[in-house]
Amino acid sequence: MSGTKKITEKLKNLASSQLIIPVIALLILVVFNLIRDPSFFSIGIKTNNLGNKVLTGNLISILNGASELVILAIGMTLVTSATKGQDISIGACAAIAGSVFVKILRTNVITVPLIASGVLVAALVAIIFCLFNGILIAKFNIQPMIASLILYTAGRPIAYWINGGATPNVESNLLGYLGGFIPGCPIPSPILIVIAFVILICLLLKFTTLGLFIQSVGINERASKLNGINPLFMKMLVFVILGACVAIAGSMNVCRIGLINHEKILLDIEMDAILAVAIGGNSLGGGKFKLSGSIIGAYIIQALTTTLYAMKVSSTDIKAYKAIVIIIIVVAGSPVVKEFFAKLVKKITAKKSKAVKVEAK
């Protein structure tokens, strides 16, 4: 009897788990690629142009290519939780941050301190622009998507003006510290940055009440205010964190390609970030969140893109294929489908418990 109860409990927990859909989706992609081409996950070592030995392979490409998306998905998750909406201007804000970063780098000979200064200044500028959205949302109660539509439209032209209407390039081996490889380390630096950033955010949420307060504001703003939480402050704080995410992603992307192209830098990244949040099982209506779900969602999107490229799907068709797969994943993770499977599990477990009772008699 106790064994049946344990199995029933496990089935119920599995059906209601927030991570069940993204984990299944990721497993399907893994199995599909293993069947299609077992060498898809092979990892090799080669010597790059600078003479350093580096890791190569599709798996490394997925982890490396998703770096900016993972960082932005984390910021988007916190904003979604607190404001019950999404900021659709993060790609444009990343263009602004990238332009500021390039402008700082072009002031002098590129050194590690100059790169660090550039990231800090870019972060300050990105936070100011993100706080503009935060003020419209938190103070004036404008719906997040509408409020961020202003910067979504104007952000890239602003990025263009910052460098005098040009698309300047930057060249230095030191840029590899953010967008390539650190000498002597075979792992791409963006992967290391993501690991460090995720650890930092997790420690922040674990050892402070930040996560609890953000969720409280998203679930019931009025109740959280009565309990001494300042909803305005919490909403502004998540936009400060988003600004830092935007600056890191923008600076990292500039270092990858060695220039700032205001029209193409992280184009449509905001849509992928929102999808990563949704695929991760987080409610787009705010409230409770699980960062691990959003992170898995980001890697699913990148894994899907890499898989399609490996299948030699043209770049023009990739978006259509991605849309179909993502629709299936999002629908599978919707409350309606989850409720259906929860009821199905309940019926199955009820029948099993009846059968056990009959046998016991």
Amino acid at 286: G
Cβ 209 vs Cβ 202: under 8 Å: no
Question: What separation in angstroms does the CA of 51 have from each of 42, 44, 67, 153?
Answer: 22, 16, 24, 43
Q: Mean of the per-residue pLDDT values for the chain?
A: 89
Q: How far apart are CA 23 and CA 154, in angstroms?
A: 37
pLDDT of residue 355: 67
Contacts of 195 (CB under 8 A, 6+ apart): none
Exposure of 8 by Cβ count < 10 A (0-12 exposed, 13-18 middle, 19+ buried)?
middle
HEC per residue, 118-131: HHHHHHHHHHHHHH
pLDDT-based confidence at 295, cuts 50/70/90?
A: very high
Q: Is the pLDDT of residue 10 over 60?
A: no
Between 300 and 340, the more confident residue is 300
Question: What separation in angstroms does the CA of 109 have from each of 8, 101, 105, 338?
Answer: 65, 14, 8, 56
What mean pLDDT comes out for the span 298-306?
94
Q: Is the pLDDT of residue 352 over 80?
A: no
pLDDT of residue 319: 83
Cβ 71 vs Cβ 194: under 8 Å: yes
Q: Is the pLDDT of residue 201 over 90?
A: yes
The residue with tokens 């929102």 is 274
pLDDT of residue 204: 95
Domains and CATH numbers, the chain: 66-336 (1.10.3470)
Cβ 43 vs Cβ 56: under 8 Å: yes
Cβ 169 vs Cβ 162: under 8 Å: no
Using one digit for the tens of pLDDT, what is the confidence trace for 20-44? 888 888 999 999 999 999 899 999 9
pLDDT of residue 12: 52
Cβ 110 vs Cβ 124: under 8 Å: no
Cβ 84 vs Cβ 285: under 8 Å: yes
pTM of the model: 0.90
What mean pLDDT comes out for the span 215-219?
95
pLDDT-based confidence at 1, cuts 50/70/90?
A: very low
Q: Is the pLDDT of residue 196 over 80?
A: yes
Exposure of 331 by Cβ count < 10 A (0-12 exposed, 13-18 middle, 19+ buried)?
exposed
Concatenated DSSP letters of 292-329: HHHHHHHHHHHHHHHHHHHTT--HHHHHHHHHHHHHHH
pLDDT of residue 11: 45
Sign of CA dihedral 105, 109, 113, 115: positive
Q: How far apart are CA 250 and CA 102, in angstroms?
A: 10
pLDDT-based confidence at 272, cuts 50/70/90?
A: very high
For the chain, give the percent of residues with pLDDT over 70: 93
Cβ 201 vs Cβ 71: under 8 Å: no
Query: Which two tokens mark 145?
Result: 């998507």
